[in-house]
Amino acid sequence: MEQQRRDISKAEKRQFRKDKRQQKQIQKMQDQMPDLKIVQTAPDTETKRLCAMNETQAHYIISILKNRLTLGIGPAGTGKTYCCGALAAEAILAGTIDKIIITRPAQEAGEKLGSLPGELEDKYEPYIEPFRDVLNERMGKARVDSMVKCGHIQAKPLAYMRGKTFKNAFVILDEGQNTSPTQMKLFLTRIGEGCTVIVNGDVKQVDIYGESGLADAVRRLRELEGINVV
């Protein structure tokens, strides 16, 4: 029993040292990030500065800030949506971009919801609701609603991207694993000047038949300059 207690104590000390090393690494990477503004959303409230919760999130945030295109891959709950949504809010409030564009393939996860009532924006709203939640938290619902009406925040189905070119925008493609290689090529060839582009997805959770456009893009693009895979 005494030996077992000593072994447990050693394991706890090793884990403590490991946690300390990781925390120092996260802090070091955090210090490399620009000092993002604290956004005033209402007279009595303000959002907190965006901070990474682990080393991989720090890599992801730094990649978005430094690269033209970031491919973020990971399971649900790893902060892909929140981090890029928060950075998009910071960018539009700082005036470094003209608009935020959010899209995703209209692929249902195993269920058929049927046709939804309303205009195109109303039908597409359920698909981009997670980003609306992030933007509302970071900027305030009234400001987000105003920007949506003015066209500074746009949510468009992937199918309606043909013929468009993104300029001076923060562009997010969510659920990228559910695009085909043809759809992914269509999206990536829309990128114009002054854009920051993020493609998020989980290549282990594909809801389409055939090859995933996200996996195809990672294989083809990961070695190119200005493009990073996290």
Q: Are 28 and 20 in contact (CB under 8 A)?
A: no
200: enclosing H helix or E strand: strand 196-201
Domains present along the chain, CATH in parentheses = 51-229 (3.40.50.300)
Token pair in block for residue 191: 């990128």
Q: What is the pTM of this model?
A: 0.76
**No. of H helices and E strands in the chain?**
7, 8
| Gyration radius from the chain CA atoms | 20
The amino acid that residue 74 corresponds to is G
Question: Collapsing DSSP states into helix, strand and coil, what is residue 147?
Answer: helix
Residues whose CB falls within 8 Å of the CB of residue 148, separated by 6 or more in sequence, listed in order:
154
> pLDDT of the chain along its 230 residues, tens only?
555 555 556 666 666 666 666 666 666 665 655 544 433 333 334 567 788 888 899 999 999 999 999 999 999 899 999 999 999 999 999 999 999 999 988 765 444 445 545 555 555 566 678 888 999 999 999 999 899 889 899 888 887 788 888 999 999 999 999 999 999 999 999 999 999 999 999 988 888 888 899 999 999 998 899 999 99
